[in-house]
Amino acid sequence: MGTDLDVAIEQAGHAWVQDLGRPGHCRTGISANGASDAHAATVANALVGNALSAPLIETTGSGITFTVESPCLLAVTGAADHVWVDGTPQPVGEALSIEAASRVHLDAPARGWRSYVAFNGRLAAAEVLGSVSPDPLLGVGRFLHPGDRLHVRTAFAGFDQPHLRLPLFRLGSGRPRWRLPLRVDVTPGPDAREFVPDDLDSLAFQVSPRSDYVGLRLSGETPRRTVSTEILSRGVPVGAVEVPPTGGLLVLLRGRLVTAGYPVMAVATATSIDRLGQARPGDGIVFRACTVDEAVAELRQRRDDLAALCARVGSAFGAVGLGDIIDPKHPSRPGAGQMSPTAG
């Protein structure tokens, strides 16, 4: 059941169709990729009643403009401050009921770097190894250009209730806080003791323009390595803070190559990895050492908040007779199973 929603892209900047990537192929040297701010992507899908890993639009450092040709339910999360619908600002982080032929626009972000646009339903894009995530090395991915049309299979047929103004619900997913310098929590890496100082807490860094979804290059005073032993190539986690011999730091994001041979001083926590996905060139970065227990406690808190949001979405949609547009894999549905982790 459902209708086809066409989304006509008018202006796309740097945008592609994204999901939570293809983890599980490290043994074959295939990077996971997936949304750089996986939490923001997950929340956008949660708000519109989709499976949390459903395909959606990810923009990087740019705005986007598109027209929806039939009614749709969408949510925007991440860096954007507003969703402009036919010239009127609407809130981010909420499910918005959009009328047919509306023009939707996001400004290029003033703070943060990536925004996510989720449509209720299934956004069509070719899967490779179970994911639509772009991987330029594999030559896969859907990059958006002006004139492109996206197709979404949705059960949402509009919501005609004149006394209810946009947004449809106040679901309160919370707004990201953009405090600079960006604080990155890290646990110690296997090679920290080879450096002076042996932690990053007292140092300040800045995001270089030569950064992308593979990794952030940080400039700043670099800890000095006290040994010169070569490190054999080995698997590296997303979030690894590497110290290349050329100076500065390299912080690996989800597009990272699976193996590397640079010393690893620290590893960003799962929740900090998503914050790093919002780092823009020029942003200041400070590191704060924490324990694995503290990192996992923060991750657990975030999972519980997400579960509560999904439950609110389930009751709100149900209350206005929209229960049938919720995907069977949305966590508010019985038997949808545990929330999938967004860890590397």
CB of 32 to other proteins, least distance (A): 8
Stretch that binds other proteins, among 71-79, 133-141, 170-178, 200-208 (CB under 8 A): 133-141
DSSP 140: B
- In the list 88, 161, 202, 259, the residue contacting other proteins (rule: CB under 8 A) is 259
Among 170, 183, 224, 300, binds other proteins (CB under 8 A): 300
Residue 45 or 187: the one with the smaller Cβ distance to other proteins is 187
27 to 66, contacts with other proteins by CB under 8 A? 27-32
Give whichever of 8 and 258 is closer to other proteins, judged by the CB atom: 258
Q: State the amino acid at position 297 in one-letter form.
A: A
Interface region with other proteins, contact rule CB under 8 A, candidates 6-14, 45-53, 298-306, 316-324: 298-306
Tokens 């020029």 sit on residue: 282
From CA 274, how far away is CA 228, in angstroms rounded? 33
Of 25, 111, 122, 151, the residue at the interface with other proteins (CB under 8 A) is 25
Report, in Å, the least distance between residue 144 CB and other proteins: 22
Which residue of 250, 264, 309, 313 would you call a contact of other proteins, by CB under 8 A? Answer: 264
* Residue the block writes with tokens 């925007």: 76
Q: Which helix (H) or strand (E) holds 16?
A: strand 15-18
Alpha carbon distance 334, 11 (integer Å): 39
Close Cβ partners of 301 (under 8 Å, ≥ 6 residues apart): none
Between CA 67 and CA 140, with CA 107 as vertex, the angle to 5 degrees is 65
- Positive or negative, the CA dihedral 193, 197, 202, 204 is negative
Minimum distance of other proteins from residue 282's CB (angstroms): 24
Cis omega (within 30 of 0) on the bond before 167? yes
Closest CB 122 distance from other proteins, rounded Å: 22
Residue with Cβ nearer other proteins (153 or 303): 303
Beta strands at 204-207 and 195-196: parallel, antiparallel or unpaired: unpaired
The whole-angstrom separation of Cα 75 and Cα 43 is 9
Shorter beta-carbon distance to other proteins: residue 1 or 232? 232
Considering only the stretches 93-101, 102-110, 294-302, 305-313, report the one whose residues sit in contact with other proteins under the rule CB under 8 A.
Answer: 294-302
**Cβ neighbour number for residue 325 with a 10 Å cutoff:** 21
For residue 218, the minimal CB distance to other proteins (Å) is: 18
The first and second tokens of residue 341, run together, are: 């982790």
Q: Which of residues 220-239 bind other proteins (CB under 8 A)?
A: 232-237, 239
Query: Judging by beta carbons within 10 Å of its beta carbon (0-12, 13-18, 19+), is residue 87 exposed, middle or buried?
Result: exposed
Minimal distance in Å, beta carbon 184 to other proteins?
Answer: 12
Which among 304, 338, 273, 327 has a CA at the least distance from the CA of 45? Answer: 327
Q: Is 295 in the site for other proteins (CB under 8 A)?
A: yes
CB of 315 to other proteins, least distance (A): 24
Contact 257, 214 (CB under 8 A): yes
Query: Is 136 or 318 the residue whose CB approaches other proteins more closely?
Result: 136
Please state whether beta strands 182-188 and 284-289 pair in parallel, antiparallel, or not at all (unpaired).
parallel
- Report which DSSP code applies to 45: H
Span 88-127, contacts to other proteins by CB under 8 A: none
Q: Which of residues 163-202 bind other proteins (CB under 8 A)?
A: 187-190
Binding mask 267-286 for other proteins (x = CB under 8 A): xxxx----------------
**Interface residue list for other proteins (CB under 8 A):** 23-32, 128-129, 137-140, 187-190, 232-237, 239-240, 257-260, 264, 267-270, 292, 295-296, 299-300, 303, 338, 341, 343-344
